[in-house]
Amino acid sequence: MVGPCIKNHIVYDRGRTEIMKTAIQSVLGLVIALSVILLVRVSIFSPPTTDDVEVLSPAPASVVQRLAKSLTFSTTSGRHLNPAAFRGMQDWMRAAYPRFHAVTSVERFAEHSLLFTWPGRDSSLRPILFLAHQDVVPIEEGTETDWTHPPFAGVVAPCEDEAGQCVWGRGAIDMKAALIGLLEGAESLAASGWQPERTLLFAFGHDEEVGGVGAQEMARALEKRNVRPSWVLDEGLLVTQGITPGITQPVAYIGVAEKGYLSLELVALGEGGHSSMPPPSTAVGRLSRAVARLEADPFPAKMDGLSAAMFERVGPHMPFGLRLAFANQWLLGSVILDKLTAKPSTNATVRTTQAVTMFSGSLQDNILPQRARAVVNYRIHPRDSISTVISRVRRVIDDDGVTVKPITSGLMSEPSKIADVDGVGFAAITRSIRSVFPSAIVAPGLFIAATDSRHYSGIVDDIYRFHPILMRPADGKRIHGTNERIRSDNFRQAVRFYETLLKEGAR
């Protein structure tokens, strides 16, 4: 009786081995097929081809002294506005850039904002608009002595932590480098007798850092005249180095969209009274639950549209592992998203972010709160809008006892439209970048702060936000911070960039 049973076992085992063999073979086949697909995709994952551009030498060294001079005018805005500083800088600009002033006409808006028009030969062509703001942010109280060189002295001195000379001072990056860079570029073109084919407009606001009334008035004036620029260049993303993972060469990001801005006020009401006889939960407790729900359920992160366009250009230059992942997003997309969302700076580029910034209850420790209030600040990704954010927040909180209202007294703006990555403006900016930063990779990007350019969205579709300033990881804190500065040779490149772009744009 034992025999047949063993025989059966042997037959059964043989069958099982066969099945196992087939299974292993199929799995192996699948793995090989998958590897082939992954490798083929990575091998054809290459950046878009670009035409050759002539590499230009930096502008003459003399431009550096004029940038330094512009930093001596303490053109802070808002409640720190100093009219004499603006008048002083504008008088100096007239004297320092006589050819530019001779070929342009100028109009004044909101007292200190200036709109220059350089008429083109062909008035039927749509103009190009260049934006820069004359104002700078103030020096935070108590930090004045932390500066290596005084913030409004316009000092050109060694950079200290790296080789070469730097121009030190508030506004060196944000954004007198662009204001003076544009003036220098235009001055040298005007001096050479060059004339633009299409009209060039220069709108130099004076209060960008505090909302941009000047820009709003200039935009309204252009709108009334039915001026519809072909495209606009404003400050924004930079030429980064050592910031994009795995890439050592510079990456110039052209901001093609800007995030929206919204603050929501969350309020929960309570009975009030003495805290010696409290209910199980107070208004603060209820509001805390709402906040906890929001934080537990952030806006979804995605690799679509703009992010996809960006990595299409940057991805091919990454080391093999990352390149493999970006070339095969159909399979590895979630791995990439996990990496991107792990860091606040990259997380902000793939989703609408939320930050609970304010929270208050009662005024004293033994008083029950009648009203608890929280403020949540949103930076809205172009795929969302103010209304979709509000309705999602209400849905996630899911509590009728908590009211959600937008704060309309401060800044509130929809995310911008996305400018055309295949447009003439993008191409002109790209060529101008490559003529001064020949090794740079150029890619579109999302600007996560707000600029004056949003006020022009009614008259132009393609707004590009780019500043030809080389930014290394340690430089980020200098913008609006202590020891703002720009490398002298970088400013000379910036001047050449603007000069080239004026020519490229005016064609």
Residue 81 or 356: the one with the smaller Cβ distance to Zn ion is 81
d(CA 69, CA 53): 33
Q: Give yes or no for a contact between 122 and 197, defined as CB atoms under 8 angstroms apart.
A: yes
d(CA 375, CA 360): 9
Q: Which of the residues 174, 187, 208, 384 is marked catalytic?
A: 208
Member of 128, 156, 175, 402 binding Zn ion (CB under 5 A): 175
Contact range with Zn ion by CB under 5 A, out of 173-181, 259-267, 364-372, 464-472: 173-181
Catalytic residue flag (residue 422): no
Contact range with Zn ion by CB under 5 A, out of 2-10, 119-127, 174-182, 293-301: 174-182
Residue 175 or 264: the one with the smaller Cβ distance to Zn ion is 175
Q: Give yes or no for a contact between 463 and 457, defined as CB atoms under 8 angstroms apart.
A: yes
Phi, psi (degrees; rounded to nearest 5) at 91: -65, -45
Binding flags for Zn ion, 220-239, as an x/- string (CB under 5 A): ---------------x----
Residue 75 or 435: the one with the smaller Cβ distance to Zn ion is 75
Number of residues near Zn ion (by CB under 5 A): 3
CA 274, 275, 276, 278 torsion-angle sign: positive
Per DSSP, the three-state class of 59 is: coil
Q: Which of the residues 135, 234, 258, 499 is marked catalytic?
A: 135
Distance of CA 220 to the CA centre of its chain: 25
- Residue 383: both structure tokens together: 């795929």
Q: Give yes or no for a contact between 376 and 357, defined as CB atoms under 8 angstroms apart.
A: yes
Under rule CB under 5 A, residue 174 binds Zn ion? yes
Q: Considering the complex, what minimum distance in angstroms separates the CB of residue 137 from Zn ion? A: 8
Show Cβ contacts of residue 336 under 8 Å, excluding neighbours closer than 6 positions.
303, 311, 325, 326, 329
Residue 385 or 457: the one with the smaller Cβ distance to Zn ion is 457
Q: Considering the complex, what minimum distance in angstroms separates the CB of residue 212 from Zn ion? A: 10
Residue 99 or 480: the one with the smaller Cβ distance to Zn ion is 480
Q: Considering the complex, what minimum distance in angstroms separates the CB of residue 172 from Zn ion? A: 12
Interactions with Zn ion, residue window 121-140 (CB under 5 A):
none
Pairing relation of β-strands 231-240 and 251-258?
antiparallel
Catalytic residue flag (residue 420): no
Q: Considering the complex, what minimum distance in angstroms separates the CB of residue 402 from Zn ion? A: 36
Q: Considering the complex, what minimum distance in angstroms separates the CB of residue 467 from Zn ion? A: 8
Contact range with Zn ion by CB under 5 A, out of 8-16, 35-43, 110-118, 175-183: 175-183
Residue 175 or 418: the one with the smaller Cβ distance to Zn ion is 175
d(CA 307, CA 315): 11
- Residue 255: both structure tokens together: 């901001």
Residue 207 corresponds to which amino acid? D
Q: Considering the complex, what minimum distance in angstroms separates the CB of residue 174 from Zn ion? A: 4
Interactions with Zn ion, residue window 233-292 (CB under 5 A):
235
Show Cβ contacts of residue 507 under 8 Å, excluding neighbours closer than 6 positions.
197, 198
d(CA 411, CA 126): 31
Cite the active site residues.
135, 208
- Give me the residues that bind Zn ion (CB under 5 A), please: 174-175, 235
